[in-house]
Structure 1
Amino acid sequence: MKKVFVYAGVIAAIFCTTQAGAQTSVKPVLKITDDNAGLKLPAKFKATILAENMGKARHIVVTPQGGIYVRLAKPVNGKGTIYLQEANGKAVVKNGFGNYGGTGIYIKDGYLYSSSNEEVFRYKLDAKNEVINPAAPEKIVTGLINRWQHETKSLVLDNEGNIYVNIGAWLNSCQEKDRQKGSMGRKGCPMLDSAGGIWMFKHDKLNQTYADGVRYATGLRNIVGLDWNQQNNQLFVMQHGRDQLHDIFPDLYTVQQSALNPAECMFALKKGDDAGWPYLYYDLAQHKNILAPEYGGDGKTAADSKYLEPAAAYPAHMAPNGLLFYTGNQFPEKYKNGAFIAFHGSWNRSPEPQAGYFVVFQPFKDGKPAGEWEIFADNFSGSPEKTASGRADHRPCGLAQGPDGSLYVTDDSKGFLYKITYTP
């Protein structure tokens, strides 16, 4: 069943799923005011623009002292990571370092960890959480596959000294001929030995390669947003679902079915899990894993039950690029330990309107998704018309929590940095 809701004067029809198999409607109560930096937020929340034109700003971390580290997809003036400090409502660039672009960044136990599209580095921090020797990082992991599609290496650390790194699959659905009409899937999908999953490495061992790492979880097409859930001490990730069901198998899928499927899925991972890509996808309307057409599926046949079910699922093709578990005390109690997700926005929902370009909130209870997800911050695109056409002014990507519980959001289109605060 399709849920219809009225939002900002526009009637929007969208599939909305929380936990796998439970479909609900989104009920945003958002407004735009002159002091919200152009965003639509719930009542009593406020957004400010701390920085502009930073470059393609990807993931971000904020230190306990309020320092801000931002990874750039491409270096600007030879700097792939910039360090900013807030002053008088703005974030001022203090320095930059690292002549490599990328996405991943994380702080843990006195080190700043940073990834290019092929390697993972770490930098020693001083007592103020500032990098001591930016010109001489330690190289922790090297030689990761980069095939120029889903090449970003997002990362997160657990509490036991391990780094988890996404290695995305460089094909849409592991076909013999990628994205070609009627081409069937490669038997056994051989790329899964080195991509399409999450790899685990030690945080303090230098120059590790695949041989030193552990394939922690597989069957994940591409992960950009991920975070460690401290409530249940578990890794959560957001998968980018596959594309072009109709283009590749027009006899099995209408253009509308292809626009609305498959879901963008949240997974709660444990060592050895297999989420099933490329052999399946999660269908929002049927509330189940469906066998992929490249592997004999017909759009209705359920996939093998041995594969992992999503913890939660969201509308198709919206590109979840950021995931953050909120542990602060500034926001109302309902946000505590829940998840914020930055949806970068779609390009392939035609003839349906494009969608995304917002940050949503997913409530959690006891370390698991619980209840309806809702749009938390919207209008990054600039207008409903720009959203529908995919011509967004801004595209949210990275999320971070400040020491006072504020929420920071990066935009990798025009390099904006937003700060969202709450006043009771």
Structure 2
Amino acid sequence: MLKQLTVSISLLLPSIANAALPIDKITLPAGFEISTYAANVPNARQMTLGDKGTLFVGSRKAGKVHALIDSNNDDQADVMFEVASDLFLPSGITFHQGDLYVAEVDKIWRYRNIEASLPKIPEPELVYDKLPNKSHHGWKFIRFGPDGLLYIPVGAPCNVCESDAPFASIIKLNVDTKQVTTVAKGVRNSVGFDFHPHTGDLWFTDNGRDMMGDDLPDDELNHVTKEGQHFGFPYIHNADILDPEFGKKASSINNQPPALNLGAHVAALGMEFYQGEQFPAGYKNSIFIAEHGSWNRSSKVGYRIVNVKLDGNQVAHADVFASGWLQGEQSWGRPAAVLTLNDGSLLISDDAANAIYRISYKGK
């Protein structure tokens, strides 16, 4: 049930906003610094920025959506509004033409002209309610594409299985006509994507299946070059790893190999092309990926931010940009999504530490 809230405001006092998170353990390239942008943001996942600078944050298990404001421009949120609660894993949110869109597992909601009415929350409008209601890989990451359509991944309802459409795919929705088009097939669980700033092509992360050991298969960074391409699941993983159960059918699909293998079980989630001006020029149009971290590997991996640089449509190289949420085999945080602020700094949401961090460049 959707709970409508008219006013629910929390003042993020300095003692709260500067909660004792061990950000001194984060390792960054020379010249970069990290700070806590906001703490006590329940289960923070995808973020989106309003036209007036309001930061909206979805959650997964918390079932809530929040709006955060840095009212005194000190690079730290000091006011938080609860936009909605009692939602079904509302991980995915996006802002488009003045409206906030929120994705539950099975529904898309719209809050029209929300920044103009805060702290009052506008009545939500139901945009679409024909998504599957399966919670397994059902939480979303959503974004409008250059074509003005809303892109929505629909994860496979299993670790590995054959499933009917729209499962294991990325679709796009015309929010006015409700027409749905399949963009990519054979996608097990994408919780992050973005569009190349020059070509407009869709690039997305995808989580590989479990229970094939510590090192197989890799999570992937994928590039859609033609609408309707198949990316292998559940028949073939990465470019050439046949699935033990479904691999015999691999020849029936035209598998699109990944642009980059990211490593097994790193749990690659949110990603974004960096288009800010604050970081050194070499980062322009590169990809930042949040690796949430492994849960079923004998030694943990991930729990970091990776930067991927391209040469045209090919991956040139990938480097670890931020690490330290994993200390030995103990993790104190799990990066979930990234977002560039208007000043060119980079926000990172952390759904385990309930925090949002800000990375800025202070070097020459």
- Shorter-chain TM-score: what band? 0.7 to 0.9
> CA offset at residue 240 of structure 1?
0.4
> CA offset at residue 161 of structure 1?
1.9
**Correspondent of 1:195 among 159, 167, 170:** 167
**Counterpart contact for 2:268–2:290, Cα < 8 Å:** yes
Are 1:110 and 2:77 matched, yes or no? no
**Correspondent of 1:63 among 30, 34, 50:** 50
The 3 A distance-change label for structure 1 pair 410 and 129 is: farther
Bigger Cα Rg: 1
User: 1:95 — aligned with what?
Assistant: 81
Quote the Cα distance in structure 2 between the aligned partners of 1:40 and 1:410: 17
Deviations 1:82-103 (A, max 9, x none): 1111243431233121222411
Quote the Cα distance in structure 2 between the aligned partners of 1:85 and 1:144: 32
Letter of the 2:67 counterpart: Y
> CA offset at residue 306 of structure 1?
1.6
SS of corresponding position for 1:363:
strand
Quote the Cα distance in structure 2 between the aligned partners of 1:341 and 1:69: 19
Quote the Cα distance in structure 2 between the aligned partners of 1:220 and 1:401: 26
Are 1:259 and 2:214 matched, yes or no? yes
Deviations 1:142-181 (A, max 9, x none): 131132211112111112221110110011111xxxxxxx
TM-score (norm. length: structure 1): 0.75
Quote the Cα distance in structure 2 between the aligned partners of 1:165 and 1:73: 16
Q: CA RMSD in A?
A: 2.3
> CA offset at residue 305 of structure 1?
7.2
SS of corresponding position for 2:214:
helix
**Correspondent of 1:309 among 257, 278, 281:** 257
| Counterpart mapping for 1:289-300 below 5 A | 289-296=240-247
The 3 A distance-change label for structure 1 pair 159 and 259 is: same
| Counterpart mapping for 1:340-379 below 5 A | 340-350=288-298, 353-366=299-312, 368-379=313-324
> CA offset at residue 47 of structure 1?
0.4
> CA offset at residue 265 of structure 1?
0.7
The 3 A distance-change label for structure 1 pair 83 and 220 is: same
> CA offset at residue 199 of structure 1?
1.3
SS of corresponding position for 1:46:
strand
**Counterpart contact for 1:290–1:303, Cα < 8 Å:** no
Letter of the 2:254 counterpart: K
The 3 A distance-change label for structure 1 pair 173 and 401 is: same
Quote the Cα distance in structure 1 between the aligned partners of 2:229 and 2:263: 23
Aligned length: 338
Quote the Cα distance in structure 2 between the aligned partners of 1:416 and 1:58: 10
**Counterpart contact for 1:357–1:395, Cα < 8 Å:** yes
User: 2:234 — aligned with what?
Assistant: 278
Are 1:121 and 2:109 matched, yes or no? yes
Letter of the 2:305 counterpart: V
Quote the Cα distance in structure 1 between the aligned partners of 2:275 and 2:304: 21
> CA offset at residue 81 of structure 1?
1.2
Quote the Cα distance in structure 1 between the aligned partners of 2:359 and 2:170: 31
Quote the Cα distance in structure 2 between the aligned partners of 1:262 and 1:241: 6
The percentage of counterpart residues that share the same residue type is: 29
Quote the Cα distance in structure 2 between the aligned partners of 1:229 and 1:133: 35
User: 2:356 — aligned with what?
Assistant: 417
Are 1:151 and 2:128 matched, yes or no? no
**Counterpart contact for 2:232–2:253, Cα < 8 Å:** no
> CA offset at residue 213 of structure 1?
1.4
Quote the Cα distance in structure 2 between the aligned partners of 1:132 and 1:364: 42
The 3 A distance-change label for structure 1 pair 48 and 164 is: same
**Counterpart contact for 1:357–1:394, Cα < 8 Å:** yes
Letter of the 2:303 counterpart: Y
The 3 A distance-change label for structure 1 pair 89 and 161 is: closer
> CA offset at residue 113 of structure 1?
1.6
**Counterpart contact for 2:111–2:122, Cα < 8 Å:** no
> CA offset at residue 230 of structure 1?
2.1
TM-score (norm. length: structure 2): 0.86
List alignment gaps of at least 5 residues for structure 2: 1-20
User: 1:12 — aligned with what?
Assistant: none
User: 2:183 — aligned with what?
Assistant: 216
The 3 A distance-change label for structure 1 pair 140 and 262 is: same
Quote the Cα distance in structure 2 between the aligned partners of 1:130 and 1:316: 45
The 3 A distance-change label for structure 1 pair 161 and 348 is: same
**Counterpart contact for 1:117–1:151, Cα < 8 Å:** yes
